Amino acid sequence: MGGYFCRAVSETASKPEIRFRGIGVAPGIAHAPVVVHWEVDEEVPVRPISVADLPEEIARFEAVLMATRAEILEMQKRIENAIGARDASIFDAHLLVVEDRTLIDEVLRTIESSRQNVEHVFATVYERYCHTLEQIDDPYLRERVVDIQDVSRRILRHLLGKGPRDFATSENPHILAARILTPSDTSLIDREKVLGFATEAGSKTSHSAIMARSLGIPAVAGLHEIFGALETGDSVLLDGTAGLLILNPGQETLKEYGRIEQRREAVEEQLDLIRDTSSTTRDGQRVVLSANIGLPEEMAEVAECGAEGVGLFRSEFLFLNREDIPTEDEQMAAYRTVAERASPHAVVIRTLDVGGDKLAEAFGPSNEESPFLGCRAIRYCLERPEFFKIQLRAILRASAFGKIRLMYPMISGVGELRRANALLEECKTELSAAGTAFDTSLPVGIMIEIPSAALSADHLAREVSFFSIGTNDLIQYTLAVDRMNDAISSLFEPTHPAVLRLLRTVVDAARAAGIGLSVCGEMAGDVIMTPLLLGLGVREMSAAPPLVLRVKKAIQSLDVESCERLMAEARERDSGEDILHLCEQVARSRYAELLD
């Protein structure tokens, strides 16, 4: 938690208190003057060049790429020394951008065809590149646009003959506010002076959020209204747990948050004590509680949070920031690492969950108008069986080194499942013929995240070993609500009666078939939803590592009988808001300290 509350900020009684709500991405409370850092776009000149100028322009571009790469390596070393190798690995993606032949070759071709200066050509190419990625239907991939922008702006400043840009700072403790904080920005901050981050853009997967959590300072992203509202020196209180930025906090607010900070610190100390205990309800019902991760390096967090293995390994992260497909050996090595580090617990590896437009460098661009409903996840893989089999073989080979479970995303019906399993059987035959070891009884499951899959769960349950409910997409598709659209975010209701009916259908089908069932979406990490999930009959959950201990505490504070009574009452309600209120009542009566 923060520990940075009420640091040398004078009361500004003459100014009104204003609250801005965003997304809490790193817990804690900070109170300090704000330092505002707003990105200023570079003015890029455009001028014609002659054929004779081409070699010089190309040589200048190549020299700048080398200089930028050296800068990134230096930043990476600085972060590694300050925080550790895991956080320094953020810059691996930046190095890939500098070495990205797709981007570099397009710049070189455009210089030759357009006969324009390299600064203008580079700015045009990278802006088009970023615009394409920003249209992708995946928040994590959209966040990776920041990597490209960060490196590209650094390259552009070199091409313009400028040094690294100045970064807003202060000699005194402060909260840093910006439109977005790039890894380059965060590498420059004074960790002794910056008490928290506040950004207009970003999410829990942004690098500023990752860095804030590593530094142990609060951070709030998605503060869309702060542009123009803040000035350097303003008194600001930042609540990284609730996702609040309070401008000019009054005395009553300061007193209230002083009490909240004390309570939160006490809660964190209590949570540390249950790290190595089991997630068992008060009446003895055992619940398997695992973690969701995307990279092998995150296994350290899994161990630290007391999770029982990995309930969701998002394999698509291995495919990011590269122009080619990871080889079978590369994928196998990553899966093996996760399986070995998770031992004796299991790892659920979800096969590639992206759309065709997200691998444009390898397969060519996609022009789908509705990527949410397009050729993504299992559909994408089934359209490219040889590509899909590379991943399937890699997972099978890794299964010889630990407890691995394979899971297909976005299954809509039995037909897709059978096609995927047919390819899996081909891979097993190929590996057997080559004498390659693998787990011949590898458990195979599916994500339930489409209403059609939930409604036909009884049919699907006959052909799989387990279900994992992806509540984020299931809610989104059921309610026709884009969860990334702020304008309609209030319509995204996990407690909507229709959603609960689908969840009940899936749970009942899994129980009837005698197969495993878990929940790996956001609902699993929300302690307000924990009583509801237990009341539904869910006995396996998987959440982000920072949330695991909180969910464990919630489980240990509940009994199944009261959760089932909650569910029975919820089924009689016709309003998602009413059902949410019931959940909050139970949660507050059993672990109010987790809700503050």
Compute, in degrees rounded to 10, the torsion defined by CA atoms 448, 450, 456, 458.
10
Distance CA 566, CA 564 (A): 5
User: Is 378:413 a contact under the CB 8 Å cutoff?
Assistant: no
Question: Which pair of tokens denotes residue 591?
Answer: 């672990």
Catalytic-role residue among 37, 207, 345, 496: 207
Tell whether omega for the bond before 344 is within 30 degrees of 0, i.e. cis: yes
Cβ contacts of residue 59 below 8 Å, gap of 6+?
A: none
Distance CA 141, CA 314 (A): 12
User: Is 81:155 a contact under the CB 8 Å cutoff?
Assistant: no
Catalytic-role residue among 381, 520, 563, 583: 520
Cross-strand bridge partners of residue 21: 244
Q: What sign does the CA torsion over 271, 272, 278, 284 have?
A: negative
Q: How far apart are the first and last CA of the chain?
A: 13
Give alpha helix (H) positions in 37-144.
54-82, 85-88, 92-98, 101-114, 118-134, 139-143
Distance CA 442, CA 415 (A): 21
Cβ contacts of residue 398 below 8 Å, gap of 6+?
A: 332, 335, 336, 339, 349, 404
In eight-state DSSP terms, residue 589 is H
Amino acid at 541: M
Question: What is the number of alpha carbons within 13 Å of residue 273 lying toward its C-beta?
Answer: 7
Give alpha helix (H) positions in 238-327.
251-273, 299-304
User: Is 522:474 a contact under the CB 8 Å cutoff?
Assistant: no
User: Is 580:528 a contact under the CB 8 Å cutoff?
Assistant: yes
Distance CA 575, CA 500 (A): 11
Distance CA 128, CA 147 (A): 15
Does the active-site annotation cover 583? no
By annotation, the residues acting in catalysis are 207, 520
